[in-house]
Amino acid sequence: MGNGTSLFVIVVTIANIAGCLWLIWWTSRRNPHDASGSNTTGHVWDGDLSEYNNPMPRWWLGLFLLTILFGFLYLALYPGLGSFAGVNGWSQISQYEEEVRQADARTNALYAPLANLSVTELADHPQAMAAARNLFANNCSTCHGSDARGARGFPNLTDDDWLWGGTPETIEQTIQNGRIGVMPALGAALGNDGTEQVIAYVLSLSGRNAPADWIEQGKQRFATVCAACHGPDGKGNPLLGAPNLTDNVWLYGSTPASLRETVTLGRNNAMPAHLPLLGETKVRLLAAYVYRLSRDEGHDEREDDDKQERGHERE
């Protein structure tokens, strides 16, 4: 707040309080012009109904004076007169910072026993996973869902399919520093026919049906334009965050229309960095929680595959 603005606020505030004092004084005195002593205003209705100008009761007047006194005390102790901070030096920012410090102290005491454990150790620690579940709900579920199964444009964290890698160290690094994924727009470079051919080839990589001649031509275009990121076999590149195109996991959908939009217009994804917000211990807890989710899900899927194979053998 500039000096001029501060002075304006001070003058207006004090003038308003002084105006209230004057108004109380003026309304509390009797009319000196009424020689009869009846203290009427001179307004008469129906011949005998007169409006009086009696002062306020003393208790009511006292309440008004107390509110004015309270106003002066408040303005002396707390901010209210322009840039004057008050003799207490209180501000909403300092109070917020103090509350944050108190909350951090309680949180640090809670997480202190877990601070030196690795991601894999935390993943098998019941108390750590209970705390991590709450952290995930408060910081991650908005994008990845309360069940961590993601949504269109947001990865499923419960499977074993990873854009940047699924090791405990990589997951922790992803949560710490965030990720930026960019799929360039290739519509202008490929043209309409080239786009359709590449889409046909990509669909064939995951076992989908497409015209054979388009697949062959799309394979050649893929090797020229797309293989640099997704690899010559289409299995992706975790160093670049390029997805595996040979499985049946799709971030934006596997329909031809969705693929056409992806190839033509490109995609831009951003995973925000959480280290500045949460600190190392909470980030490690979240990494352990995500690692535990994918590990348990992958174990369940392998068990289902084994059961199916044993069932086929018995048949």
pLDDT tens digits, 67-122: 999 999 999 998 888 888 888 888 888 899 999 999 888 888 888 889 899 999 99
The CA distances from residue 187 to 23, 44, 109, 111, 305, in Å, are: 76, 89, 54, 50, 39
d(CA 264, CA 189): 9
d(CA 173, CA 62): 66
Cα radius of gyration rounded to whole Å, the chain: 36
Ramachandran angles phi, psi of 140, nearest 5°:
-120, -25
Please give the pLDDT value at position 297.
Answer: 64
* Position with higher pLDDT, 306 vs 69: 69
d(CA 62, CA 299): 77
Q: How does strand 49-52 pair with strand 40-45? A: antiparallel
Q: Which domains does the chain have, with CATH numbers?
A: 10-28+49-89 (no CATH), 108-178+272-306 (1.10.760.10), 181-271 (1.10.760.10)
Nearest-CA neighbor of 248 among 159, 154, 145?
159
Mean pLDDT, residues 136-148 taken together: 95
Tens of pLDDT, residue by residue over 240-276, are 999 999 998 999 999 999 999 999 999 999 999 999 9
Q: CA angle 132-117-280, nearest 5°?
A: 60
By residue count, the chain amounts to: 315
